[in-house]
Structure 1
Amino acid sequence: MNGSQALSITDRKADEQAMIAAHNCAVARSFHSYFNQYILTDHERGYIVIDEGDYGALPQHLMDRVVDAVPSKMIDEH
């Protein structure tokens, strides 16, 4: 294989589990925020979740790392 060798089965499973955990976190947070939750790649943790409301318009360096988004579940209408 070349320099971009395929991940081992163990590495892929760990990556998949990290992504599932991040997605579950984003879904849970979406019920308590008026803003979208973004899942980003992170070199140290695998994935992180950030709230769009903490950043306003996401800077390009963060947008480049977005792998998924969960829309807010809160409605601002009464």
Structure 2
Amino acid sequence: MLNISTSAAADNAAYFAAVANAERRALSSYFDQHVIADEDHRYIAIDEGDYGALSQGLIDRIVYTAAGGLIDEH
């Protein structure tokens, strides 16, 4: 039997860990940091600069975005 509350707590913990990672990385990046969800309720933070133009499939899986903290204007 699946314990729903434990599963939900693990999903929340994984989500907030990925958000914290994205926020931390965004501070020193020119690019937005996205948290991507997969079908297994796992979350990863990706740097938009590493992927170039994001595919629509990847865009559809974005659940959070932290704006890049560096500005490239002089």
Give the TM-score band, short-chain normalised: 0.7 to 0.9
More helix by share: 2
Match of 2:6 among 4, 10, 14: 10
Give the fraction of aligned pairs with identical amino acids, expressed as a percent: 46
The runs of 4+ residues in structure 1 deviating greater than 3 Å are none
Match of 1:22 among 8, 18, 21: 18
Aligned length: 72
Corresponding residue of 2:63: 67
Matched letter for residue 23 of structure 1: V
Bigger-Rg structure (1/2): 1
Rounded to whole Å, the distance in 2 between the matches of 1:24 and 1:9 is 22
TM-score w.r.t. the length of structure 1 is 0.82
Corresponding residue of 2:27: 31
Rounded to whole Å, the distance in 1 between the matches of 2:71 and 2:39 is 34
1:18-71 CA-to-partner distances (Å, cap 9, x unmatched) read 011000000110012100000001346710111111112210111111111000
- Structure 2's unaligned 5+ residue stretches are none
- Structure 1's unaligned 5+ residue stretches are 1-6
Match of 2:51 among 48, 55, 60: 55
Matched letter for residue 10 of structure 2: A
